[in-house]
Amino acid sequence: MTDQASKTKLWGGRFTGATDPVMHRFNESLSYDKRMWAQDIRGSQAYARALIGCGILTEKEAEEIVAGLDRVGNEWREGTFKIEADDEDIHTANERRLKELIGPVAGKLHTGRSRNDQVATDMRMWLLDEIDALEKLLSVLIETMAKRAEVEIDHIFPGYTHLQRAQPIRWAHFLLSHAAYLATDLDRLRALRPRVSVLPLGAGPLAGNPFAGLDREALAKALGFDSVGPNSMHSVSDRDFVIETLMWTSLLGTHLSKLAEDLIIYSSSEFGFVQLSDAYSTGSSIMPQKKNPDSLELLRGKSGRLFGNLAGFMMSVKGIPSTYNKDLQEDKEPLFDSVDTTTACLQIATGVVSTMSINGERMRAALTPDMLATDLADYLVRKGIPFRETHHISGSAVKLSEERGCQLSDLSLEDLRSLNPAFEEDVMRVWDPSESVERRNAIGGTSRRAVLEQVTRLHALVNAGVHSA
């Protein structure tokens, strides 16, 4: 890079020597922050209009800059923007091209503004757009699960703890258990938005804007921000909104991974409860009979990637001093990657859930009488016997059935009365799994009414979003 080339940089006046080409490549961020071109142009156009109030720009000059930036934006949109060797980032690239199009008046645009407050503004604007898109995708997934739960509410199968058959539940209840995790993710995403929607523009490099008449509240309104950063030093260095977003994607990824793990198990030949559509499965290169749940395995694997982005960036910011430091350039790649990865994960998860089929017969066949041992204990509770005693009695019944090599439901009334005289003829109704699930009718239970109540709440949650479709 020549001495003359270094003088063309926005910061080149102080420097007389050429930049090492390796340092230039090490320092540049345009290769990835160019995706914020639209936000950078919107922010610059709003700032140009704000400079009218400071007396820095006339209305004619401001409109000339705004129109010039429209031309720059069209070049990005049409794929004709030509990146030059000295373009370090999206800000310098856009300003360089603006000057080529409209001349020296473009040099007034950066008055009172720093790349420090500019990049923070661009990132927040970009992320606000992405949050809206993520909210819609997540809402679609939740709705898909809620609708399946309504349609398939009558299917009953084993619920598991420790991967051991535990109690009968509705398949719909299982789906909604995962939807409940996603519902909290939706709440968290909506709660995050106001903390992202804080305007840094006007903070300057760190000490604030020195020109009287700059109306930051009007700038915030023009750019769609909820509030204005109250401290200029904080505004240029704050990346908590990035960390929170990475935390959110990590937690969402964990929840999608849990869903994927369950569906992988349930789709195995040993279970056979679920079959993935061909659109979300792959085959083996050597075993023709295989149908691999690669979509789910990738969902499970991507959760590690999302957490890695969070952990890496946390290490980047944990020890830097106040205000802007170049370490903060490490914010964009993990943020962009995590948002892209999460977007793809939500689309794939929705595709899997909406197209998979279930085998109701296999589900029903997997129910066994021993799963109703707690119901047997509850039966005696209704007869007035303390649960600690009934639990012991039910355990004795399980032991008796094991000794005889029969199912728990094969024990006769006389067998049960030998354990406790409170058993009566109606005890035989305990062995109906349909009645078992219906008895669990409290809020959050697996009865039909309780499940439909969960569905209603999910619909209401999704529809409550200001930014949801």
Q: Is 282 exposed, middle or buried (0-12, 13-18, 19+ CB in 10 A)?
A: middle
pLDDT for 33: 93
- Give me the CATH topology for the region 3-111: Fumarase C; Chain B, domain 1 (1.10.275)
Written as six digits, the tokens of 154 are 């009558």
Give the three-state DSSP class for 198: strand
One-letter identity of residue 257 = S
Q: Is 146 exposed, middle or buried (0-12, 13-18, 19+ CB in 10 A)?
A: buried
pLDDT for 286: 67
Residue 208: name the closest of 192, 185, 228, 182 by CA: 228
Given a contact cutoff of 8 angstroms between Cβ atoms, the answer to whether 112 and 214 are in contact is yes
pLDDT for 220: 98
Count of helices and strands (H, E) across the chain: 19, 6
Residue linked to tokens 């804080």: 198
CA distance 234 to 117: 10
Alpha-helix runs per DSSP H in 356-447? 360-365, 373-381, 387-404, 413-419, 433-439
**What are the pLDDT tens digits along the chain (469 aa)?**
444 444 455 545 555 556 788 887 888 889 999 999 999 999 999 999 999 999 999 999 999 999 999 999 999 999 999 999 889 999 999 999 999 999 999 999 999 999 999 999 999 999 999 999 999 999 999 999 999 999 999 999 999 999 999 999 999 999 999 999 999 999 999 999 999 999 999 999 999 999 999 999 999 999 999 999 999 999 999 999 999 999 999 999 999 999 999 999 999 999 999 999 989 887 666 675 668 899 999 999 999 999 999 999 999 999 999 999 999 999 999 999 999 999 999 999 999 999 999 999 999 999 999 999 999 999 999 999 999 999 999 999 999 999 999 999 999 999 999 999 999 999 999 999 999 999 999 999 999 999 999 999 999 999 998 544 3
Task: Give the contacts of 202 (CB within 8 A, at least 6 positions apart).
Answer: 50, 112, 113, 117, 208, 209, 214, 216, 219, 228, 232
CA distance 380 to 9: 84
pLDDT for 72: 98
pLDDT for 124: 98
pLDDT for 368: 95
Same CATH topology for 3-111 and 116-365? Answer: no
Task: Give the contacts of 227 (CB within 8 A, at least 6 positions apart).
Answer: 194, 197, 198, 199, 220
Q: Report the catalytic residues.
A: 162, 284
* Predicted TM-score (pTM) of this structure: 0.91
CA distance 14 to 60: 32
pLDDT for 4: 44
Residue linked to tokens 């370490």: 327
Task: Give the contacts of 314 (CB within 8 A, at least 6 positions apart).
Answer: 243
**Domain ranges (residues) in the chain:** 3-111, 116-365, 369-463
Q: Does domain 116-365 have CATH number 3.30.70.240?
A: no
CATH for 369-463 (3.40.50.150, 3.20.20.70, 1.10.40.30, 1.10.10.10)? 1.10.40.30
Given a contact cutoff of 8 angstroms between Cβ atoms, the answer to whether 142 and 462 are in contact is yes
